[in-house]
Amino acid sequence: MPSLKTIRKRIGSVKSTQKITRAMKMVAGARLNRAQQKITQLRPYAIKTSDIVHDVAADLIEEHTSANEEGQAAGEQAAHAGEKGKELHPLLVKRPVRKALFLLLSSDRGLCGGFNASISKTAERAWKDLEETHSATVHFATVGKKGRDYIARRKGHIAHDFLRVYDGLDLQKVKVVTDWLVERYLSGEYDAIYLVYNEFKSAMTQKPTVEQLLPLTNKGRHHETPKGDDGAKVEYLFEPGKKELLEHLVPMYVDITVYRALLESNASELGARMSAMDSATRNAKEMIGKLTLVYNRARQAGITKELMEIVSGAESLKD
């Protein structure tokens, strides 16, 4: 059995660790409240913006496809396709996926449970699936050291690493990220760009999510297209036209979508850290209880032994 001094030292060490984990839990909880307020306020706006953009984009793509088919029937395919192709916003143009980019959002620090492991493994699965299904080359842009290190250990190609994005996160920092992404997509360097992040559900639950950012597809809708009482699709009037509207909405959609993903990831990290530190604090309390019991038993055994020695010494003196 360890000595009393060793057990006391161990109890002191665990108590110190418990103070640290309790403090980290409180800090994460306070920061989580602010992060949760931000994502709660932004989420409805981001979802509605996404739905509107995808509605307008789907209509334009459908009109473009119909016009091309009519042009083929009239024997004017080449000229007509060239004319109509200009009507599509560059970020709507779909190309065969030969080279794709994943924007992986993780954290810069650990001590947040399975937060980084789950999102990194999700990114790795999506990477392997895309390589198998489309024979595509996959590169990564990373926000957060943990995701970057995970991909680097698996020999993944990291095209860019955005540093200290979460510190004072605002739209200015988001623009740095989105401008870099859009520039690479418009130049044809990448044919598709995906977001990989943890969607915040609660402090206990985070959902790893892979979402296509570019090009825009109808799969990006969060709700079904609204329909009237007769079941027909609701038609909207746009002022100015759809094309002019998209010129403004699409860049805004990219910024808002990436901003939302960063806020979701930040809130998820804080929730995971708060849960992990709460669990660590409770485990430390249990360990202190067990060590205290061992200490008391050892001290009791020592006292009993000393009493027996005193009694034995007294008996020997009588003899």
pLDDT tens digits, one per residue of 24-65: 999 998 888 888 888 888 888 888 888 878 777 776 766 666
- Residues 6 or more apart in contact with residue 178 via CB below 8 angstroms: 251, 254, 255, 258
| CA neighbours closer than 13 Å in the CB half-sphere of residue 6 | 5
Q: What is the pLDDT of residue 238?
A: 67
Instruction: Tell me which amino acid residue 21 is.
Output: T
Coil, strand or helix at 318: helix
d(Cα 54, Cα 216) in Å, to the nearest integer?
7
Nearest residue to 194 (alpha-carbon basis) of 174, 227, 220: 220
Q: What is the pLDDT of residue 222?
A: 53
Q: What is the pLDDT of residue 68?
A: 57
- Residues 6 or more apart in contact with residue 155 via CB below 8 angstroms: none
CB 196 within 8 A of CB 105: yes
- Residues 6 or more apart in contact with residue 288 via CB below 8 angstroms: 11, 14, 15, 18
Q: Which CATH architecture has domain 22-57+93-224+236-276?
A: 3-Layer(aba) Sandwich (3.40)
d(Cα 140, Cα 157) in Å, to the nearest integer?
6
The DSSP code for 195 is: E
Q: What is the pLDDT of residue 228?
A: 47
Stretches where the chain sits below pLDDT 50 are 73-86, 228
CB 273 within 8 A of CB 113: yes
d(Cα 259, Cα 253) in Å, to the nearest integer?
10
* Structure-token pair, residue 246: 């998209």
Coil, strand or helix at 100: strand
d(Cα 213, Cα 220) in Å, to the nearest integer?
8
Mode of pairing for the β-strands spanning 137-143 and 206-214:
unpaired
Mode of pairing for the β-strands spanning 99-105 and 137-143:
parallel
* Structure-token pair, residue 195: 């977001």
* CA distances from residue 261 to 78, 206, 218 in whole angstroms, order as listed: 40, 12, 19
Q: What is the pLDDT of residue 169?
A: 87
Whether this model's pTM surpasses 0.95? no
* Structure-token pair, residue 113: 């449970």
* Structure-token pair, residue 15: 């108590």
